[in-house]
Amino acid sequence: MALFPGRRPKRRTLVGTLAALVLAGSAAVAPAAAAAIPGQDEVVKTANMHHLANIPKPPVFSGTGSYGTDWAFKGNYAFAGNYDGFTVYDISKPAKPQIVTVVKCPGSQNDVSISGNLLFLSTDSSRSDDSCQSVPKPATEKDAWEGIKIFDISDVRNPRYVKAVETKCGSHTNTLVPGKKGTAYIYVSSYRPDSTFPDCQPPHDLISIVEVPLNNPQAAKLAAEPVLFPDGGNPGDKKDYPEGTSETSGCHDLTAYPSKNIMAGACMGDGVLFDISDRLKPRIIHSVRDDENFAFWHSATFNNKANKVVFTDELGGGSTATCNAAIGQDKGADAVYDIVGKGDKRKLVFRSYFKIPRANADTENCVAHNGSLIPVKGRDIMVQAWYQGGISVWDFTDSRKPKEIGWFERGPLSNDQLILGGSWSAYYYNGYIYSSDIQKGLDVIDIRDKATDKGKRVKLDVLNAQSQPDYFD
């Protein structure tokens, strides 16, 4: 869920930079690869992936810098983040989704999660204040603001902004972790400190935890700032961008499995397994590194039994073309780890890499990105976004031999230059795949395959992909 995570510009001026982002792309594509690359904007897919609908971004978010980001789901509604706010969709008829309302509230990247009637929105760009009318303000100024905003969504047609909590280095992503009855904890991931930023000082080896009384969100507060890497974490290396390993100075994304009291952390240079029995004191069980092939540990997904974790490597920050022969199949990929042992003796053991087998043009940003499980009992299957590499459904039941089941993608947004686009997040919710495309808006896909059809029987009331449910408990 990051852009330029490894070598990005000064964070707090990033929104203005990204809003104008049009990177010059190389026109050189190997002849064999070019023959397999779809035409500009051409939709190609496997026969089992049925494209039911596309709803373009609403007019207020139509600019190329208004990037579509992450999803949260509740009942018959989908909530889609955008660098300029969020959109609520009615998905009661998946083949005919409708926009219910649009909330304009700039503050990249506006990741979303939901608990009860509350929606939590991440602000990771330095703003003049905590309102939805704020404007960019340099992070070098002490009174600049960024952090978590809280909305009441009991009336989905009129979300109401009720509270904000400032956090160090902002909130790049947020993870909902339920606490005792009536309380939610928001684990805030942020990174890239700078000695010139008063509220984001190095080494920043911590996360922020916001405690929210669900019946009194006005009382939400910063409850803890646990240091996760007292030894400093991975120091990184000096290799040329985009392939150098990032230093660890915070976490990019945290995926909790609350019912099992564990969490997987994608923390820049480190992949981490945590015990979260004490919600305010996450504790490292085991951590791993892959300095040969992983540039930036970006996100994580458990299988339902919680004996495997899929970590993603966001090589190039999501803004470069990495799905090609030059980069190869082991970089910008997923890494499948088994979790072996019990209790505090659990360890992450590497088994394999998985990367989409299709070549992309040099004008297409493509790398492993956000996905979720498809709930098929006895199988480990997930759907995943790959930016302009499209959407992939793949099976990692055999963690040593993952295989693709189906895929959907569009041809390049441009044949002449790299325009940031493609699927940011692709999640499976109540029988359908919902993709948040950076430029194209909402896509709804129905996968009809004997390997995944049983997943249609599983229904949820709420889905935050970074707070995994136990589908078969």
For the domain made up of 11-463, give the CATH fold: Methylamine Dehydrogenase; Chain H (2.130.10)
Spatial neighbors of 193 by CB under 8 A, at least 6 apart, are 169, 200, 201, 202, 203, 204, 249, 250
* pLDDT mean values, one per 10 residues, the chain (473 residues): 40 34 32 67 97 98 96 98 98 98 96 98 98 97 98 98 98 96 96 96 97 98 97 88 88 98 98 98 98 96 98 96 95 98 98 96 97 98 98 98 98 97 98 98 98 98 98 93
Residues belonging to the chain: 473
CA distance 84 to 109: 8
> What span, in angstroms and rounded, lies between the C-alpha atoms of 466 and 153?
20
**What pLDDT shows up at residue 321?**
96
Distance CA 428, CA 430 (A): 7
* pLDDT, position 308: 98
Q: Distances from the Cα of 379 to the Cαs of 50, 73, 203, 311, 341, in angstroms? A: 22, 23, 41, 18, 21
pLDDT at 36: 80
Determine the pLDDT at residue 1.
47
Query: Contact, 323 vs 392, CB < 8 A?
Result: no
Three-class secondary structure assignment of 260-274:
HCEEEEEEECEEEEE
CB atoms within 10 A of CB 462: 16
pLDDT of residue 88: 98
User: How big is the CA angle at 247 (ends 242 and 250), to the nearest 5 degrees?
Assistant: 115
Which amino acid is it at 7? Answer: R
What's the pLDDT at 3? 54
307 Cβ neighbours under 8 A, 6+ residues apart: 338, 339, 340
Instruction: Tell me the backbone φ, ψ of residue 79, rounded to 5 degrees.
Output: -115, 115
